[in-house]
Structure 1
């Protein structure tokens, strides 16, 4: 059970922090101690990870520089200070109005400042940051490009990539921002980060500049729309900035100059926070486009074709998933649920633990917790327990507000072990159903898969496949069988 508990804790930590280097922190004599790379920081004020991040840009950029910028008139300050001051004002106003203990809405200022702090921390925690980058961050003219480079690097790190920065002082040849290697597959990519500046989105120039640089690796080009518009594209569920970017990429792919450029994965990001500092719950979005990559071109594709495309480009699809999943900044240092930050007692219901419960005859007895299901509406957990005489029965245990919030954030690990079915939404698409079946059948033996498909008219062809290809084939067939009834009801 100790191993299962550790696996659940690590699973939950990665759900929050991603696949990069974990937060390294401890408490010592009323101080919170945090390691960032080779540097140790400590303070009595840091009760949550957010508290630390709020101070971190000041630590990295230097107190002297920070004070100098803070003493300038508001309109002349570096935008980092503008974000920090506005964030403080929002937090102060919220505290005065709502009192302590009430969650702070995410305003544009808080979002852009805290994400910059988190990205900067993630980068410095993983690699040695060149002084030139810090100087570029401090320089108002160079800051936008440096900001996006930090954001892209942090996203890659949290998705499980290792980074190798290129020497920006070497002017003998052109080079990309950095080389990124996916730790899981070993695939290596040349990465460029481009940010729109100016009144219009010039995709042609951004792509041409990025892909004209020399590289021996497949390429990933990130483009920040830097667009404050909040409306959706006409007849589309996506922000208008991403819709326009997609249309421009399609056109440039057919342009005579664009046709001479190499293939690339293009990831376009949309984060309007810095354009709406006082707004709350702002949208965001990401677009993946395969520039000259046939697999990504529009057109009808079978479910099996979609699955194989996803497999062929797995590191990039995993990166995209991580960017969306890990956009939320952890509040705790160890991966605990946010509801348990700031000293709140952690979950008390853990599978395998001994606990005192009312027995079948109403008397209190000791029993072992075996499994639980949370019923949010009744604010209870229905738990199966086992008594010492091997009787199993169900007990209902009331849950606190903090426990309900913690379960909502991490249903798969709330009870101290991994339950991948907990909190699982019902599959809606063919790919959803494929993933559902893949969890069960991806590890089945080839013989078992052949047995399951022995009724197929092309069973002899199937027998020639590898175990992995067979598993893909079977799960795709099962997924198709599930979505056909849904399509019939539409």
Structure 2
């Protein structure tokens, strides 16, 4: 898909999401407010409203509910909308800014003038907001990044500008309000003929000290507590990563399965029962409970348990080209339920968080049994189950990291 195709289709899908999730009595007025600005002869109207559709769509895909501000109310400044996360009830005032200047307008090129993240952030922070702020800034540059990195390129420059802004006082000399800052670059809008240009995202906290790619943690407990404090933002960012592609089906089904030709082999699903040959060659009914995809061999190794629970078996099943394509598109849900794929931990903290997801509900007595040989076992006996689970996972991760070194 070219950049131009992606731009048109994304805008259409964004508008669909906005209308679909709006209160029915507000749909016509809300849709018109977007379309009128998108048709405006003023480029700043178009660019601003275009990237507001991306921001709204990102929140909607993450499960947020949106309430749009009345822009005609001139008694005070307004953010674009208020986003509510139903799982926690938390409300956020969302302001959207987009860069709309060419290099010739900017004059001598440097990243501050080119990206204008600091300038946009300052303006956003000056808006009246009733809730915790989220500022979405689109840098709108042609840079196509293939690997996420905060060490160079526009992501580093954007992060540096956020950090500089939070150090400076507000115009009245007071402290600036805190805000989550999400900086995006939909590079396909500036690479209309390119194939595969996509979107890059960085997120950091302005005066939120424990949120951002440059924030480190020395203890697992600190990281877990930080994740809990910022769970709504992490849900938004996870959704932006997972829901980048426009779905081909209304029910979310993998298109390779939804549009599979007649006569295609039955799909393998966890929990389903299949006829599997036992060691003697006799076919018996067995339930699929685990599987490994061998992509290069185009095979699935399925792990089955007989319905009577007496036998465990494995069987290799060939994969079609459509199944391979479906696996590559959505490997976590390929077998019919969400099962995150294991990934290689980059540091001790990622490993500790992986352990924590496994052991966070382990009974306190079992954790103490596993840690019985620890020199500080008497101290460990004074800890709650929650603290004990964190400490166990932290020590396991430290030990594994030392072995790797």
TMscore range, shorter length: 0.7 to 0.9
Q: Is the 8 A contact 1:354 1:366 kept in 2?
A: no
Q: In the alignment, what sits opposite 2:35?
A: 134
Q: Is the 8 A contact 1:347 1:414 kept in 2?
A: no
Structure 2 counterpart of 1:191, from 94, 109, 117: 94
Q: CA–CA distance in 1 between the matches of 2:215 and 2:270?
A: 48
Q: CA–CA distance in 1 between the matches of 2:265 and 2:38?
A: 39
Structure 2 counterpart of 1:205, from 113, 119, 136: 119
Q: CA–CA distance in 1 between the matches of 2:317 and 2:167?
A: 63
Q: In the alignment, what sits opposite 1:179?
A: 82
Q: In the alignment, what sits opposite 2:235?
A: 318
Aligned runs of 1:71-220 on 2, under 5 Å?
106-128=1-23, 129=27, 130=30, 131-141=32-42, 142-199=45-102, 200-220=114-134
Q: Is the 8 A contact 1:158 1:326 kept in 2?
A: yes
The gaps in structure 1 that reach 5 residues or longer are 1-105
Structure 1 counterpart of 2:164, from 244, 247, 251: 251
The Cα of 1:416 is off from its aligned counterpart by 3.6
Closer, same or farther: CA 195–356 of 1 in aligned 2, 3 Å: same
Is 1:241 the counterpart of 2:144? The answer is: no
Superposed CA offset, 1:38-77 (max 9, x none): xxxxxxxxxxxxxxxxxxxxxxxxxxxxxxxxxxxxxxxx
Superposed CA offset, 1:72-127 (max 9, x none): xxxxxxxxxxxxxxxxxxxxxxxxxxxxxxxxxx3211222222222222221111
Q: CA–CA distance in 2 between the matches of 1:204 and 1:197?
A: 14
Q: CA–CA distance in 2 between the matches of 1:232 and 1:395?
A: 38
Q: Is the 8 A contact 2:122 2:165 kept in 1?
A: no
Closer, same or farther: CA 467–214 of 1 in aligned 2, 3 Å: farther
Q: Is the 8 A contact 1:242 1:270 kept in 2?
A: no
TM-score (norm 2): 0.81
Q: CA–CA distance in 2 between the matches of 1:479 and 1:360?
A: 40
Is 1:329 the counterpart of 2:249? The answer is: no
Q: CA–CA distance in 2 between the matches of 1:250 and 1:457?
A: 43
Structure 1 counterpart of 2:320, from 384, 400, 404: 400
Q: CA–CA distance in 2 between the matches of 1:384 and 1:242?
A: 43
Structure 2 counterpart of 1:381, from 278, 286, 300: 300
Is 1:291 the counterpart of 2:221? The answer is: no
Superposed CA offset, 1:15-56 (max 9, x none): xxxxxxxxxxxxxxxxxxxxxxxxxxxxxxxxxxxxxxxxxx
Closer, same or farther: CA 455–385 of 1 in aligned 2, 3 Å: closer
Q: CA–CA distance in 1 between the matches of 2:232 and 2:338?
A: 24
Q: In the alignment, what sits opposite 2:176?
A: 261
The Cα of 1:269 is off from its aligned counterpart by 0.6
The Cα of 1:301 is off from its aligned counterpart by 3.2
Q: CA–CA distance in 2 between the matches of 1:107 and 1:290?
A: 33
Q: CA–CA distance in 1 between the matches of 2:215 and 2:251?
A: 45
TM-score (norm 1): 0.68
Q: CA–CA distance in 2 between the matches of 1:468 and 1:380?
A: 41
Is 1:274 the counterpart of 2:192? The answer is: no
Q: CA–CA distance in 1 between the matches of 2:288 and 2:146?
A: 48
Q: CA–CA distance in 2 between the matches of 1:346 and 1:335?
A: 21
Q: CA–CA distance in 2 between the matches of 1:282 and 1:475?
A: 39
Superposed CA offset, 1:334-380 (max 9, x none): 222232243434753234544445554446x3432434433223222
Superposed CA offset, 1:274-324 (max 9, x none): 111001122532121211222248575314233332222221122122212
The Cα of 1:263 is off from its aligned counterpart by 0.9
The gaps in structure 2 that reach 5 residues or longer are 103-113
Q: Is the 8 A contact 1:357 1:367 kept in 2?
A: yes
Q: In the alignment, what sits opposite 1:227?
A: 141
**What is the number of equivalent residue pairs in this alignment?**
378
